[in-house]
Amino acid sequence: MANIFDLFKKIETKQNNTPITYIIAGLGNVGAEYDKTRHNAGFMAIDSLAESLGVKIDRVKFHAYVAEANIGRARVLLMKPTTFMNNSGVAISEAAAFYKIAPENVIVLHDEISFDVGVIRIRRKGSAGGHNGLKSIIAHLSSDSFPRIKIGVGKKPSPDYDLVSFVLGKFSKEDLETLSAKYLDINAAIRLMLEGKTEEAMNKYSR
């Protein structure tokens, strides 16, 4: 009978040889000064997903911090681009080209200032809607046909409030608690999307 440790090694080797079929990218800015800012909602969400999967997004590749994981039957690459928000497409397009991933298999998590904190909207594709991170991804993938999960971070206190100051502002303690309560829904939505059930994820978790 094979040694149990040899069996585990064989299973691990088989998993690691499984090709990457999806990219899940959380958008944000690297650096301690951007920690817990509104623009980093995508980073925060993908960190929660990684924690639930028992992995750390800490390997440097494709101008990003990355980790590989299994979600259901899918082998995915988790990404946090280090190119800063406005150049997010540089990192994501490099990874997509390397693994030959179609835009339809790139899931992007990003902040959305049109929604109240914690509101989630799932879309199969669409325009950038003024979001510079999405603009960069669309430009580098030459497509807007990638699904995305929009994470509400709250609206500007007034129309004339400076947008940059707002998105680079820190979440309040209460807002952080509201967001944290939504990570389970985001993770569940991602699992459905990887199973080809995006419509179900939209109906169940888009609010």
The verdict on whether 140 is a catalytic residue reads: no
The pLDDT of residue 207 is: 73
Would you say residue 97 lies in a domain? yes
- pLDDT score at 4: 61
pLDDT confidence of residue 129: 86
Residue 12 located in a structural domain: no
* Burial of 144 (C-beta count, 10 Å sphere; 0-12/13-18/19+): middle
User: Which residues of the chain fall below pLDDT 50?
Assistant: 1, 5, 8-9, 12-14
Q: How many other CB atoms are there within 10 angstroms of residue 152's CB atom?
A: 23
Q: Domain count of the chain?
A: 1
| Average pLDDT across the chain, whole number | 90
CA–CA dist 77, 21 (Å, integer): 8
Q: Which domain holds residue 186?
A: 17-205
Question: What local confidence, expressed as pLDDT, does residue 13 receive?
Answer: 43
Give the pLDDT score at 125.
93
Q: How far apart are CA 56 and CA 101, in angstroms?
A: 22
Q: What backbone torsions phi and psi does residue 11 show, to the nearest 5 degrees?
A: -65, -45
Q: What angle (nearest 5°) sits at the alpha carbon of residue 83, between those of residues 79 and 88? A: 65
Do residues 168 and 38 lie in contact, with contact meaning Cβ atoms separated by under 8 Å? yes
pLDDT at position 157 is 86
Q: Is 85 contained in some domain?
A: yes
CATH at 181? 3.40.50.1470
Q: For residues 25 and 17, what is the distance between their CA atoms, to the nearest angstrom? A: 21
State which H helix or E strand residue 35 sits in: none
Q: What is the pLDDT of residue 1?
A: 46
Determine which one of 39, 63, 110, 131 is catalytic: 39
Residue 4 lies in a domain: no
pTM exceeds cut of 0.85: yes
